[in-house]
Structure 1
């Protein structure tokens, strides 16, 4: 398996910038007495590639479009709050390479709609997301789609109406020490599609230290026929349950992952109780930690949403 030292690379992303500016954002001037802006988006609009934006603790009712190579650092994860709940579309759109986000909370768009992702990262490379909390999005909290060389560290994605974190048609992605709680589709979802970033499929995905709470499934994959997730390393998930036949409505292939054989056994029973032929279910434990892909957000919403009904019955820097 290819090992990508993404964390180390993050230290050098901006080293080549000859001239870089620091921008300071503060909603009430309590941290930075003379801030450049009171709006994060205004700072993004003024910044150039390679600049750094520091955001003081406070409440920022806005959604963000990040289309430049920037570092954006909040003062603290819980204190710096970006509130996109009243907006439509993505809470944060990230479409630039070589970007780092850290230390803030995003309250995602509240409307349950296909575009109500918390943070949408697509078609980019060399991205770092650290100590970011994403809450209450109308779709998936953090969506990584068609990306490469991405590291997500110590992030939380909770109480979203999709998955906590999803990865689609991407390569060299590391998710370390993520916490997901109460997400409708499950904690971490791996999809393949090929629709927007052909040829599709994902490779070199590493997931370690995942903490899933109050969710139907901690991790699962949905694969489009002919497209796979390869070189997936997720050592805590020692058992898998897969259905060998494609499932409606999009007729993709599903695999679910578990930290114990007992949990996997329970899931097999649950699937059969919900109409899936036992002969089409394959349970494997103590296998090497390599997991396949999954795609089709609509499928996950339909299938996992219906399954959930049944399972529910069971189970800093200050300016000088």
Structure 2
């Protein structure tokens, strides 16, 4: 595996096609009007979250389609797939420090998508839900700001997903919808911030004194440790400094 600095190609897809399994692809700032299919185990790192934009143009089903396991996508803005900004049909992926917006679903997990991590993402302005889990277990969603969607997150099926330390705010219908039992909305000590939580914090520990009932769906799920203030769990800033030449 090696670094692949895609300065001499015009699209991200060309960089993926020219990379080998296990490579890291560094993507420079710019707007990439394309549909990206990730069909091999690679790491994609953007130069900056606001500066690297993958725009699906609202014509294709998705802007980014992940079909290989062990893919990492870090520091991108991905939007305007007709259905999905990112369609994740694989396992052991990490989606980190990304903006996901302007699609039917910001990110959709399907086809037995298991053991994935979605962390430190801003997921907003989608037409149905910020995140949809249609098929997948043992996924972790944490440190995300999920806002201005009709539903913040929709768990349509499958259990044993962990959702904690997220901010849910300004979502139109429900902050969360869960149709499947045994998903966890806290990690045993810390849950999520919900802007429609009406409980009190009599002991001042920053955790609500009564659980937050997940408002949508049939599972009857609860966040047992809802956070009273989003500033108590603001996602940490991440910084990646690269020195020297990048060679493929």
| TM-score bucket of the superposed structures, by smaller chain | 0.7 to 0.9
On the 8 A contact 2:168/2:192 being kept in 1, the answer is no
Q: State how far apart, in whole Å, the 1-side matches of 2:19 and 2:54 are.
A: 19
Alpha-carbon distance, 1:292 to partner: 10
Structural RMSD (CA): 2.8
CA deviations over 1:161-186 (Å, ceiling 9, x no partner): 110011223111111111122112x1
What TM-score comes out, normalization by structure 1 length? 0.59
Q: State how far apart, in whole Å, the 2-side matches of 1:169 and 1:292 are.
A: 18
Alpha-carbon distance, 1:132 to partner: 0.7
Of 225, 233, 236, 2:191 maps to: 236
1:162 paired to 2:125: no
1:144 paired to 2:109: yes
Alpha-carbon distance, 1:260 to partner: 2.8
CA deviations over 1:205-245 (Å, ceiling 9, x no partner): 22122222321221111x3xxxx331413353699xxxxxx
The higher radius of gyration belongs to 1
On the 8 A contact 1:117/1:141 being kept in 2, the answer is yes
**Range that drifts further, 42-51 or 66-75:** 42-51
Alpha-carbon distance, 1:156 to partner: 1.2
Q: State how far apart, in whole Å, the 2-side matches of 1:191 and 1:61 are.
A: 31
CA deviations over 1:278-318 (Å, ceiling 9, x no partner): xxxxxxx93598999779xxxxxxxxxxxxxxxxxxxx636
Q: Could you say which residue in structure 1 is the equivalent of 2:176?
A: 219
Q: Could you say which residue in structure 1 is the equivalent of 2:11?
A: 39
Q: Could you say which residue in structure 2 is the equivalent of 1:129?
A: 95
Q: State how far apart, in whole Å, the 2-side matches of 1:83 and 1:130 are.
A: 18
CA, structure 1 residues 156+189, in 2 after alignment: closer, same or farther (shift >3 Å)?
same
Q: State how far apart, in whole Å, the 1-side matches of 2:74 and 2:193 are.
A: 31
CA deviations over 1:109-161 (Å, ceiling 9, x no partner): 2x4xxxx2110001x22111100101111x11111122111111101111111
Runs of 4+ in 1 over 4 A off after TM superposition: 287-295
Q: Could you say which residue in structure 2 is the equivalent of 1:259?
A: 197
Alpha-carbon distance, 1:108 to partner: 1.9
Of 283, 286, 295, 2:210 maps to: 286
Greater helix fraction, Structure 1 or Structure 2? 1
What TM-score comes out, normalization by structure 2 length? 0.75
Q: State how far apart, in whole Å, the 2-side matches of 1:58 and 1:177 are.
A: 26
Structure 1: gaps (5+ residues): 1-19, 26-34, 193-200, 240-256, 263-284, 296-315
Q: State how far apart, in whole Å, the 1-side matches of 2:218 and 2:5 are.
A: 41
